């Protein structure tokens, strides 16, 4: 019976691409004048991640024995891929809007770096869930704490925005950017949701 032992390896490879993408995303938010360069690097990493996603989906269909439920494998690789896809999309749209980056936006981008790093470090643990359940649970708590921090930064940034003298149109554009940046961190929490479900079923 066809058996593919590389699912955990693919998850780990994919997550190792998301971290430098998040670092480039944070650099894009720095306002260093190199936004196009950072966006291009995110796009390059996203293409590599897409290859791993395609390989994983194909492996689901051709493999009889999988480390856990096929639907969970698909959910996890999709959630990971959505994270880097959103970074690419957000980077392009932020450049298009041409808004200035606030400290709160930059702080939220920092949250994305920390959350993706936690995911990357935890991904190999899925190969031994019974032994790593506590560490995976700790990672889940940490990523959710980071996501909550990003929410607080969003609230603070929007409060300052609506109290400012910017025009209604400018306020709307900046609010869209805030929502996009915050959504990147939300996608990290989506990955955690899938991992939590896997751990519950496996332990």
Output 108 or 60, whichever has higher pLDDT. 108
* CB-side neighbour CA atoms (13 Å) of 4: 19
Q: How confident is the model over 77-86, as a mean pLDDT?
A: 96
- 1: confidence class by pLDDT, cuts 50, 70, 90: very low
pLDDT of residue 3: 56
Residue 3: beta bridge partners?
Answer: 65
pLDDT one-digit tens code per residue, 20-69: 999 999 999 998 989 999 999 999 999 999 999 999 998 888 877 778 88
CA–CA dist 62, 6 (Å, integer) = 13
pLDDT one-digit tens code per residue, 151-179: 999 999 999 999 998 899 999 999 999 99
- 100: confidence class by pLDDT, cuts 50, 70, 90: confident
In whole numbers, what is the pLDDT of the chain averaged over residues?
A: 92
Is residue 11's pLDDT more than 50? Answer: yes
CA–CA dist 81, 46 (Å, integer) = 8
Is residue 137's pLDDT more than 80? Answer: yes
Does this model's pTM top 0.85? My answer is yes
């Amino acid at each position: 019976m066809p058996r593919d032992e590389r699912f955990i390896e693919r998850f780990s490879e994919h997550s190792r691409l998301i971290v430098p993408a998040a670092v480039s995303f944070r650099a894009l938010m720095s306002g260093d004048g190199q936004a196009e360069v950072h966006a291009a690097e995110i796009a390059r990493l996203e293409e590599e991640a897409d290859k791993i996603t395609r390989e994983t989906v194909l492996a689901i269909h051709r493999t009889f024995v999988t480390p856990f439920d096929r639907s969970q494998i698909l959910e996890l690789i999709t959630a990971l891929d959505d994270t880097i896809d959103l970074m690419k999309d957000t980077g392009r749209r932020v450049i298009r809007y041409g808004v200035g980056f606030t400290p709160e936006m930059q702080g939220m981008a920092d949250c994305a770096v920390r959350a993706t790093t936690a995911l990357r470090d935890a991904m190999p643990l899925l190969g031994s869930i019974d032994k790593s359940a506590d560490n995976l649970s700790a990672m889940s708590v940490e990523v959710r704490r980071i996501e909550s921090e990003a929410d607080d930064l969003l609230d603070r940034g929007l409060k300052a925005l609506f109290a400012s003298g910017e025009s209604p149109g400018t306020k709307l554009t900046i609010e869209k950017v805030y929502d996009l940046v915050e959504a990147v961190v939300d996608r990290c929490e989506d990955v955690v949701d899938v991992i939590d479900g896997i751990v519950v079923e496996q332990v």
